[in-house]
Amino acid sequence: MRNIESIIIGINFFILGLIFCCKIDSIDILINIINITLFMIKMLLKILRVKEDKRDYVQLRIYEIMPGFAAWFTLIFCIVIAIAKPIWGIYFIIVLDVYWVVRIYYMFIFLLSSWFKYMKAKRIDWRAKRLACKNWENYIHLVALPTYKEPYSVVKDTFDKLIESDYDKDKMIITLGGEEGDKDNFLKIAEKIKSEFDGKFKDIVVTVHPRGIPGEIPGKGSNMYHIGTEMYKYFLEKNIDISKVIISMFDIETWPDKQYFNCLTYKYLTMDNPERFSYQPLVLFNNNVWKSNPIIRVVAHSTTYWLLTDLSRPERLFTFSSHSMSFKALVEVGFHPRDIVTEDTRIFLHALNHFNGNYRVCPMYTPVSMQTVDLGNFFESLKNQYIQIRRWGWGVEHFPWMMTKLIPNKKIPFAQKFKYLFNQAEGTYSWATLPILILTMGKLPIFVADMKIHYDVIIHNAPILLKYIMQFGMTGIFAIASLNFFFLPKKPKNVSWLVYPIMAIQWILFPFTMIFFGSIPALEAQTRLMLGGKYRLGFQVTKKT
State whether CATH 3.90.550.10 applies to domain 137-388.
Answer: yes
Q: What per-residue confidence (pLDDT) applies to 412?
A: 96
CB 540 within 8 A of CB 387: yes
Q: What per-residue confidence (pLDDT) applies to 25?
A: 45
Residue 541 pLDDT class (50, 70, 90 cuts): confident
Residue type, 481: A
**pLDDT digit string, tens, across residues 92-107:** 888 888 888 888 888 8
* Sheet strand arrangement including 277-280: 203-209, 172-179, 140-146, 245-249, 323-326, 277-280, 360-363
CB 434 within 8 A of CB 418: no
What whole-number distance in Å separates Cα of residue 389 and Cα of residue 61?
23
Q: What per-residue confidence (pLDDT) applies to 272?
A: 93
Least confident of 47-61, 130-144, 507-521: 47-61
Higher pLDDT pick, 36 / 1: 36
What whole-number distance in Å separates Cα of residue 513 and Cα of residue 519?
9
What whole-number distance in Å separates Cα of residue 74 and Cα of residue 432?
10
Q: Is 406 exposed, middle or buried (0-12, 13-18, 19+ CB in 10 A)?
A: buried
What whole-number distance in Å separates Cα of residue 527 and Cα of residue 524?
5
Helices 378-393 and 294-311: crossing angle in degrees, nearest 10, is 30
**Which is it for strands 245-249 and 323-326: parallel, antiparallel or unpaired?**
antiparallel
**Which is it for strands 140-146 and 245-249: parallel, antiparallel or unpaired?**
parallel
Q: Is the pLDDT of residue 446 over 90?
A: no
Q: If you average pLDDT over each of 34-48, 64-78, 325-339, which comes out highest?
A: 325-339
Nearest to 429 by CA among 110, 74, 64: 74
What whole-number distance in Å separates Cα of residue 338 and Cα of residue 343?
8
Residue 456 pLDDT class (50, 70, 90 cuts): low
Nearest to 176 by CA among 139, 238, 223: 223
Q: What value does the mean pLDDT take over residues 261-278?
A: 97
The alpha helices in 165-278, defined as continuous H runs, are 183-196, 220-237, 260-270
One DSSP character per residue, 300-315 reads HHHHHHHHHHHHT-GG
Residue 328 half-sphere exposure toward CB, CA atoms < 13 A: 14
With a CB cutoff of 8 Å and minimum separation 6, the contacts of 350 are 333, 334, 337
Residues in the chain: 545
Number of other residues whose CB lies within 10 A of the CB of residue 42: 10
Q: What value does the mean pLDDT take over residues 433-451?
A: 75
216: helix, strand or coil: coil
What whole-number distance in Å separates Cα of residue 526 and Cα of residue 422?
16
Q: What value does the mean pLDDT take over residues 173-199?
A: 96
CB 374 within 8 A of CB 296: yes
Round the CA-based radius of gyration of the chain to a whole number and report it: 25
Least confident of 69-83, 269-283, 461-475: 461-475
Residue 90 pLDDT class (50, 70, 90 cuts): confident
368: helix, strand or coil: strand
CB 298 within 8 A of CB 506: yes
Residue 50 pLDDT class (50, 70, 90 cuts): low
Q: For all residues of the chain together, what is the average pLDDT?
A: 86
Global pTM reads: 0.87
Q: Is the pLDDT of residue 469 over 90?
A: no
CB 140 within 8 A of CB 174: no
The alpha helices in 22-138, defined as continuous H runs, are 27-48, 55-84, 86-123, 126-131
Nearest to 139 by CA among 219, 248, 228: 248
Q: What per-residue confidence (pLDDT) applies to 22?
A: 44
CB 318 within 8 A of CB 362: no
So where are the chain's domains? 1-49, 137-388
